[in-house]
């Protein structure tokens, strides 16, 4: 709503007694300081009354985001300040200036006629009218408005307007309908996510949370409460991949891609048929015939041997009446041999035996059982970039399938850090199966107890499907106009105009809107213990450059980690 512009000669009657200083106005919570002069839909404009005592107490100042109470005969209507303005020139005599406050009307406090008990509800039944008075919401008002009202909730910080009022998230509404955390680098996203997850797992120790950690930030924040999975100890066998995922790994030629994919399809189906005809050992169970009980479709998670694929390719190359190009057959075989020999891919292609360990793999990644560690941190920082999207695609697909086949009895939350990297807006970038796996969770996951947390510093570059499916948004400081607009466009909350000052938020401050919070609010995050902070503070250049302590031996350690994907925690330089 645009600020109303009054010409001096056309001021309404209330202007004759307005006499407000040009200095900031101090208002004691509960005291009436203005009255309604315009109501339009879910928005209203109020004009300050007579001159108020001046002061500098922050708790007594009307600022953007302040909650105000509008007193009506039926209820107390709660509004959120979205704009402060002086729309006119000085009045006659040069002493008084008209000051307006614009509001979004977000709910009302009602009192029970018999018991006098007060309760807050979203939406306004009876709108205020001209002349109704405003006061700054009292602590009692704020506590009622931002209360979780007996619903399952956890505290993640305090209200910006009053540090004594706790800021809660409603657990079921937050997780069952997905959420997004957006903000520029250094604004506090990772700390906010860590604070939220600590609150949830402390209250619900049987929770299941999987974090796709692209920068190895969260391992430091959940010591003792998380299963840390990295390429060094990850086992994600190639036979878990769908055909599209396998093709993205084995087929590298753009010119002959169609032919290569046809050959690979035939080779995989042949290898799975051979696995079904043979006997495959299953850990912890008697030997059994796989083909009797497991579908051998090209996308089914059926164990098969790469040696069988190589044998099929050799057989095709040896035929006199072959219909496939020898070059294409050799190209695929060479790619398989390269991946098997590369230590960076050992977590997928390094096993010498083929065992049906699907239950073990899923149980470890998705915490079934939790065994006192409700969080799995998938450290993907050392995963080769050319296969990163494939790994994420597999994890997301397995999470969804687990929800479907468990009929929602194993609810879990999947946290996608840097989501714009593998689910970008530009469909020519990224990996389509990854995008589809995440989008499927976003659209259908809530039916099966699969919750999605999308974290990104560039919401304008994120697939809009993901952000549109997030019913709760935690917006930290965003300086880019395109990113701000992307968040506004996907926020249907009546107080979305609070997002207009995203660029002015401080570190550790966020605007929370949506169904996961009882009211739109500006919050300050809870302070975490040093042991609970993500390792994302960055490098202190002045400290590191203030000494010349790096040695050739230190560089050798770095090279060894780089070459063999060993992210040793004991590496120290200087």
What is the average pLDDT across 189-216? 93
Contacts of 168 (CB under 8 A, 6+ apart): 146, 147, 148, 153, 154, 155, 156, 517, 518
What is the average pLDDT across 48-75? 69
Percent of the chain with pLDDT over 70: 83
Burial class (CB in 10 A: 0-12, 13-18, 19+), 59: middle
- How far out from the chain centre does Cα 538 lie? 21
Return the CATH superfamily for domain 166-234+357-531: P-loop containing nucleotide triphosphate hydrolases (3.40.50.300)
What is the average pLDDT across 542-568? 74
How far is residue 286's CA from residue 288's CA, in Å, rounded to a whole number? 6
> Does the pLDDT of residue 1 top 60, yes or no?
no
Render 216-270 in DSSP notation, one character per residue.
S-GGGGSTTTEEEE-TTT----GGGS-HHHHHHHH---STTHHHHHHHHHHHHHH
> Does the pLDDT of residue 374 top 90, yes or no?
yes
How far is residue 547's CA from residue 551's CA, in Å, rounded to a whole number? 12
Rounded to the nearest integer, the mean pLDDT of the chain is 81
Please say whether the beta carbons of 142 and 162 come within 8 A.
yes
Tokens read off for 70: 């509008």
**pLDDT value, residue 288:** 44
How far is residue 313's CA from residue 374's CA, in Å, rounded to a whole number? 44
> Does the pLDDT of residue 238 top 50, yes or no?
yes
**Angle (nearest 5°) at CA 479 between 474 and 485:** 65
Pairing of strands 179-182, 166-170: unpaired
**pLDDT value, residue 353:** 77
**pLDDT value, residue 90:** 55
Pairing of strands 375-379, 472-475: unpaired
**pLDDT value, residue 151:** 86
Helix (H, G, I), strand (E, B) or coil at 24: coil
**pLDDT value, residue 384:** 85
- Answer with the residue of higher pLDDT: 285 or 232: 232
What is the average pLDDT across 227-237? 90
Please say whether the beta carbons of 72 and 462 come within 8 A.
no
What is the average pLDDT across 150-179? 90
Phi-psi region of 372 (alpha: psi -120 to 50; beta: other; left: phi over 0): left
**pLDDT value, residue 180:** 94
Q: Which residues of 408-438 are buried (b: 16+ CB within 10 A; e: fewer)?
A: eebbbbbbbbbbbbbbbbeeeebbebbbebb
The values of phi and psi at residue 6, to 5°, are -105, 130
How far is residue 178's CA from residue 175's CA, in Å, rounded to a whole number? 5
What is the average pLDDT across 78-92? 75
**pLDDT value, residue 564:** 65
The model's confidence at residue 514, banded by pLDDT at 50, 70 and 90, is confident
Please say whether the beta carbons of 511 and 521 come within 8 A.
yes
Tokens read off for 310: 């190589």
Least confident of 94-98, 208-212, 387-391: 94-98
**pLDDT value, residue 496:** 62
> Does the pLDDT of residue 472 top 80, yes or no?
yes
Tokens read off for 532: 């609970």
> Does the pLDDT of residue 292 top 70, yes or no?
no
Could you tell me the residue ranges of all domains in the chain?
Answer: 8-145, 166-234+357-531, 240-348
> Does the pLDDT of residue 88 top 90, yes or no?
no
pLDDT digits (tens, 9 = 90+) for 395-445: 999 999 999 999 999 999 999 999 998 888 887 787 888 988 999 999 999
Please say whether the beta carbons of 65 and 161 come within 8 A.
yes
């Amino acid at each position: 709503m645009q600020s109303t512009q009054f010409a001096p000669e056309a001021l309404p009657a209330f202007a004759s007694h307005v006499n407000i200083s040009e200095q900031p106005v101090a208002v004691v919570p509960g005291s009436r300081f203005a009255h309604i002069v315009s109501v339009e839909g879910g928005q209203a404009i109020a004009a300050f009354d007579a001159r108020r005592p001046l002061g500098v107490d922050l708790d007594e100042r009307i600022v953007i985001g302040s909650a105000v109470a509008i007193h009506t005969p039926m209820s107390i209507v709660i509004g959120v300040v979205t704009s402060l303005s002086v729309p006119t020139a000085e009045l006659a005599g040069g002493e008084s200036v008209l000051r307006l406050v614009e509001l979004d009307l977000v709910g009302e406090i009602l009192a029970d006629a018999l018991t006098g008990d007060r309760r807050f509800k979203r939406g306004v039944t009876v709108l205020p009218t001209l002349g109704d008075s405003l006061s700054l919401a009292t602590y009692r008002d704020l506590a009622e408005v931002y209360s979780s009202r007996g619903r399952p909730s956890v505290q993640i910080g305090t209200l910006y307007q009053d540090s004594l009022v706790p800021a809660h998230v409603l657990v079921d509404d937050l997780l069952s309908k997905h959420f997004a955390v957006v903000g520029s680098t250094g604004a506090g996203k990772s700390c906010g996510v860590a604070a939220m997850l600590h609150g949830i797992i402390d209250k619900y120790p049987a929770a299941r949370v999987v974090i796709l950690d692209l920068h190895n930030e969260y391992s430091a924040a959940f010591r003792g409460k998380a299963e840390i999975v990295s390429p060094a100890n990850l086992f994600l066998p190639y036979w878990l991949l769908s055909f599209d995922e396998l093709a993205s790994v084995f087929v590298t030629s753009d010119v002959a891609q169609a032919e290569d994919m046809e050959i690979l399809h035939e080779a995989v189906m042949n290898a799975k048929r051979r696995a079904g005809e043979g006997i495959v050992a299953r850990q912890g169970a008697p030997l059994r015939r796989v083909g009797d009980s497991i579908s051998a479709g090209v996308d089914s998670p059926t164990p098969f041997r790469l040696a069988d694929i190589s044998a099929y390719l050799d057989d095709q190359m040896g035929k006199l009446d072959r219909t496939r190009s020898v070059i294409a057959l050799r190209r695929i075989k060479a790619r398989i041999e390269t991946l098997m020999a590369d230590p960076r891919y050992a977590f997928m292609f390094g096993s010498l035996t083929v065992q049906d360990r699907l239950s073990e793999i899923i149980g470890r990644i998705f915490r079934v059982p939790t065994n006192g560690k409700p969080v799995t941190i998938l450290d993907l920082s050392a995963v080769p970039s050319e296969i990163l999207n494939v790994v994420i695609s597999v994890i997301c697909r397995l999470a969804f399938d687990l929800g479907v086949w468990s009929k929602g009895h194993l609810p879990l939350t999947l946290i996608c850090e840097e989501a714009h990297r593998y689910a970008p807006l530009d469909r020519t970038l990224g990996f389509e199966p990854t995008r589809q796996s995440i989008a499927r969770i976003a659209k259908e996951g809530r039916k099966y107890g699969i919750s999605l947390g999308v974290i990104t510093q560039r919401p304008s570059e994120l697939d809009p499907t993901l952000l549109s499916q997030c019913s709760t948004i935690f917006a930290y400081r965003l300086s880019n106009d395109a990113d701000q607009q992307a968040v506004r466009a996907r926020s249907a909350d009546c107080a979305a105009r609070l997002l207009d000052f995203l660029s002015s938020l401080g570190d550790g401050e966020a605007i929370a809107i949506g169904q996961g919070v009882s009211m739109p609010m500006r919050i300050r995050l809870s302070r975490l213990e040093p042991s609970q902070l993500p390792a994302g503070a960055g490098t202190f250049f002045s400290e590191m450059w203030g000494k010349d302590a790096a040695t050739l031996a230190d560089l050798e350690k770095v090279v060894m980690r780089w070459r063999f994907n060993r992210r040793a925690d004991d590496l120290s330089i200087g």
